[in-house]
Structures are given as C-alpha cells and as structure tokens.
Amino acid sequence: MGYALLIGIWILHALQVFVPETGFDALWYHLPVARIIVEHGGLIYDPDMYQSLNPLFSDLFFVVGFAIAGPLGTKVVAYVFACVAMFLTY
C-alpha cells in the first residue's frame, strides 16, 4: 500500500511538469539567469539583471535542464530532485 501511494504521488507531481511555469521565483529569478548562462556559454554578469550577481549554486543545477529542454527541462530537474527526496525520506 505504501509503495502504491508513493507512486501515485509521483504521478500527480509529474503532471505539473507539463504545465506552463507561472511562479514568480522561476519567471523572474531562476529562468532568466539560466537563459543568460546558456546564451553566453558560461557564468556572466548582466548589468540589466541583478540576479546574476547572486550566488548561483542552486541555479547551476537547473542550467543543465534549461540547456537541454528550456523551461520544461528545468521543471524536469526539479521533479527528479523531488522524487529523490521522497524516495530517501520514505
């Protein structure tokens, strides 16, 4: 029963991966920084985007997904992290 519930939760969360991103944090912070890094091929300071001066440790995880599949790729990365966290806590 426990595994069925866990798999059901994973499936419900997987559906959210395919919904357009509307969260303030992603649209105004994470995705623009990832876009700049991918466009320039490395870490760069953009004077029009103060977020590029902030520590980028967590953003760098999402850059790989963004480089492969754009905003959908970043959501897949977040989904995989969530699944790993649920698996480890279970």
pLDDT tens for each residue of the chain, 90 residues long = 778 888 888 888 888 888 777 666 666 667 888 889 999 999 888 888 888 888 888 778 889 999 999 988 988 998 898 888 888 887
Distance separating alpha carbons of residues 76 and 87, to the nearest angstrom: 16
Distance separating alpha carbons of residues 80 and 59, to the nearest angstrom: 15
Distance separating alpha carbons of residues 21 and 65, to the nearest angstrom: 14
CA distances from 20 to 24, 32, 66, 88 (A): 12, 15, 14, 28
pLDDT of 38 reads 93
CA distances from 33 to 49, 72, 82 (A): 8, 15, 22
pLDDT of 27 reads 66
pLDDT of 24 reads 63
pLDDT of 67 reads 93
